């Protein structure tokens, strides 16, 4: 089957109008020996059967209903109001495309403008674009922006920035002349870890285009970034701040107020369930001086011929379809629908709602930590945290996580060995407003049983 409505009679009439005898005649430009291969594909499935088949695949995954989950690390299970998905299922949103014709896309454009406004208010920045692919590529684009701006070769990146984001940034600059230095920003003791920005401060010099830090950092720790901000200012380097969890901005001083030049982050958690890691939506906000270097779409407010308020894609001369090889990025499609979900979510939660879920996340995480301590665990994080912390696993994180899952039916967190091999006895535990008292109890009793 296909979704094509033409009947054989339609096709015959259309072929006559085209002046050819058969559809095969339309493919004559393809070299004859390569024409019409047999495709080795499974047989077509009607709607009912394909739903059943996908249901079977889904049944082979565990979900948050099967296991108590404390997984975070950039993807958090936050409350997404029911109206969000009802809106995302509206054809006018999800079957439209990039608003190239503004007169027919005012809905998308105004929603983009509102999104940009919300991001600016949340982050304390002046300008936001309409999103990039995900937090990781947003960081990569920030690094590229700073390189183009300063023409300096070095990027200093804290090892407490999400390791996958660091990897993606490294891939993006791999063919360019960029010296990407990962610098330690956390100090280990036997069972603990705490922020230590000194090495980062020392690494910033006149060759540094930007320094990248995460807040709260990948280990969940909140630290005053001022020494980094000062060192960067002294040496003319820019500061890129990665926001670990956008909900944390319901509580924390926005990075813009701390002196960030660029703020990036991942917004998926505001828009829907984690979907095995994608599609996400990359947040990208800058100081106003950088507006003409921003990658990706930006919606602007203007008026129409009658003086009516209206919205339009603006500053398009930055973009690849106009500027080609001199564009600020090659990005075309962004993540409009995920962004729309985040926008509606933020509007529906509002000022108090976002603060409350941030506070509830903080509460749940601190109760989880307390319960773990009660079960004999040592909390490794020696710094304030919002909703994510490290716990010490003496026999190694990987083995302990495996036992907690198999013996306790708990996904207790993430092996922090991904940050640095010296952290492979630390587990990153996240909680949110959706973490229940039962989840915390399951975690604590599993921990006690797997000593």
Partner 1 sequence: MTEEPLIYDLSSPGRRGVRPPLPQFDPVDPTKALPTSELRTDLPLPEASEIDVMRHFLRLSHKNHSVDTAMYPLGSCTMKYNPKVNEVTARTPGLADVHPNQPPATAQGALELIYELEALLASITGFPAVSTQPAAGSQGELCGLLSILAWHESRGETRTQVLVPDSAHGTNPATGTMSGLEVISLPTADDGGIDLQNLEERLGPGVAAIMLTLPSTLGLFERRILEVVDLVHAAGAQVYCDGANMNAMLGRVRPADLGIDVMHLNLHKTFSTPHGGGGPGAGALAVQAHLEPFLPSPRVVRNGDAFELAEPSPTSIGRVHSHLGNFGNLVRAYTYIRSLGAEGLREAADDAVLNANYLRASLSDDYDLPYDRICMHEVVLAGTRQRRLGVRTLDIAKRLIDYGIHPPTIYFPIIVDEALMIEPTETESRESLDNFIDVMRRIAREAESDPDKLHDAPVNAPVRRLDEVTANRRPNVRRPPPGSA
27/236 with CB nearer partner 1:
27
Which tokens in the block code for residue 17? 């109008």
Q: Report d(CA 153, CA 146) in Å as an integer.
A: 10
Q: Report d(CA 209, CA 154) in Å as an integer.
A: 6
Within 313-372, which residues bind partner 1 (CB under 8 A)? 314-315, 317, 319-327, 329-338, 340, 344, 346-357, 359-360, 362-364, 366-367
Member of 151, 189, 305, 421 binding partner 1 (CB under 8 A): 305
Q: How far is the CB of 131 from partner 1 (least distance, A)?
A: 8
Member of 21, 147, 151, 175 binding partner 1 (CB under 8 A): 175
Torsion sign (Cα): 219, 222, 228, 229: positive
Member of 151, 190, 308, 421 binding partner 1 (CB under 8 A): 308
The distance of Cα 272 from the centroid of its chain, to the nearest Å, equals 12
419 binds partner 1 (CB under 8 A): no
Length of the chain: 451
Interface stretch with partner 1, choices 30-38, 189-197, 374-382, 442-450 (CB under 8 A): 30-38
Member of 8, 39, 190, 421 binding partner 1 (CB under 8 A): 39
* Residues near 87 by beta carbon (within 8 Å), at least 6 away in sequence: 93, 340, 341, 344
Q: How far is the CB of 237 from partner 1 (least distance, A)?
A: 22
189/325 with CB nearer partner 1:
325
Interface stretch with partner 1, choices 38-46, 186-194, 205-213, 238-246 (CB under 8 A): 38-46
Residue with tokens 């299970």: 77
Q: Are 260 and 239 in contact (CB under 8 A)?
A: yes
Q: Report d(CA 303, CA 417) in Å as an integer.
A: 53
Question: If you compute the radius of gyration of the chain from its CA atoms, what whole number of angstroms results?
Answer: 25
Q: How far is the CB of 238 from partner 1 (least distance, A)?
A: 19
196/205 with CB nearer partner 1:
196
| DSSP-derived pairing of the beta strands 238-243 and 208-215 | parallel
35/233 with CB nearer partner 1:
35
* Residues near 71 by beta carbon (within 8 Å), at least 6 away in sequence: 411, 413, 414, 430
Q: How far is the CB of 449 from partner 1 (least distance, A)?
A: 19
Annotate each residue in 183-202 with x if it binds partner 1 (CB under 8 A) or - if it does not, as one string. Answer: --------------------
Within 212-271, which residues bind partner 1 (CB under 8 A)? 222, 224, 249-254, 257, 266
Buried b (16+ CB within 10 A) or exposed e, 305-337: eeeeebbbbbbeebbbeeeeeeebbebeebbbb
CB atoms within 10 A of CB 396: 15
165/423 with CB nearer partner 1:
165
54 binds partner 1 (CB under 8 A): yes
Within 61-90, which residues bind partner 1 (CB under 8 A)? 61-65, 67, 69, 71, 73-75, 77, 79, 81-83, 85-87, 89-90
Within 114-153, which residues bind partner 1 (CB under 8 A)? 114, 116-118, 120-122, 126-128, 130-131, 133-137, 144
Q: Report d(CA 392, CA 189) in Å as an integer.
A: 11
Q: Report d(CA 423, CA 163) in Å as an integer.
A: 13
Q: How many residues touch partner 1 (CB under 8 A)?
A: 211
């Amino acid at each position: 089957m296909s979704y094509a409505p033409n009947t054989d009679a339609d096709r015959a009439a259309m072929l006559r109008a085209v002046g050819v005898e058969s559809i095969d005649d339309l493919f004559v430009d393809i070299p004859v020996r390569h024409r019409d291969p047999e495709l080795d594909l499974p047989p077509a499935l009607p709607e009912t059967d394909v739903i059943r088949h996908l249901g079977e695949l889904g049944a082979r995954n565990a979900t948050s209903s099967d296991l108590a989950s404390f997984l975070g690390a950039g993807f958090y299970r936050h409350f997404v109001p029911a109206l969000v998905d009802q809106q995302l299922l509206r054809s006018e949103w999800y079957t439209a495309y990039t608003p190239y014709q503004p007169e027919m896309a005012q809905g998308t454009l105004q929603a983009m403008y509102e999104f940009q406004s919300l991001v600016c208010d949340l982050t304390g920045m002046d300008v936001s674009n309409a999103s990039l692919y995900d937090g990781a590529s947003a960081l990569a684009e920030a690094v590229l922006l700073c390189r183009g701006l300063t023409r300096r070769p070095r990027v200093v990146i804290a090892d407490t920035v999400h390791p996958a984001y660091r990897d993606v940034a490294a891939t993006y600059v791999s063919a360019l002349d960029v010296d990407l230095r990962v610098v330690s920003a956390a100090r280990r003791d036997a069972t603990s870890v705490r922020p230590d920005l000194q090495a980062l401060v020392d690494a910033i010099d006149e060759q540094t285009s930007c320094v990248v830090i995460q807040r709260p950092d990948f280990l969940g720790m909140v630290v005053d970034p001022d020494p980094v901000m000062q060192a960067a200012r002294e040496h003319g380097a820019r500061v890129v701040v990665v926001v670990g969890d956008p909900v944390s901005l319901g509580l924390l001083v926005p990075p813009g107020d701390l002196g960030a030049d660029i703020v990036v982050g991942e917004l998926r958690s505001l828009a829907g369930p984690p979907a095995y890691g994608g599609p996400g939506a990359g947040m990208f906000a800058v100081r106003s001086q950088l507006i003409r270097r921003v990658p990706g779409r930006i919606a602007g407010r203007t008026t129409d011929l009658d003086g009516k308020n209206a919205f339009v894609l603006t500053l398009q001369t930055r973009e690849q379809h106009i500027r080609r090889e001199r564009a600020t990025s090659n990005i075309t499609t962004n993540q409009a629908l995920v962004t729309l979900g985040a926008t509606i979510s933020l509007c529906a939660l509002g000022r108090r709602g976002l603060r409350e879920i941030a506070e509830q996340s903080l509460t749940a995480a601190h109760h989880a930590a307390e319960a773990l301590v009660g079960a004999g665990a040592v909390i490794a994080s020696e710094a304030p945290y919002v909703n994510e912390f490290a716990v010490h696993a003496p026999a190694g994180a990987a083995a302990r996580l495996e036992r907690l899952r198999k013996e306790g039916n708990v996904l207790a967190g993430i092996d922090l060995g991904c940050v640095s091999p010296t952290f492979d006895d630390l587990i990153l535990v996240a909680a949110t407003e959706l973490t229940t008292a039962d989840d915390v109890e399951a975690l604590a009793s599993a921990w006690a049983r797997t000593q």
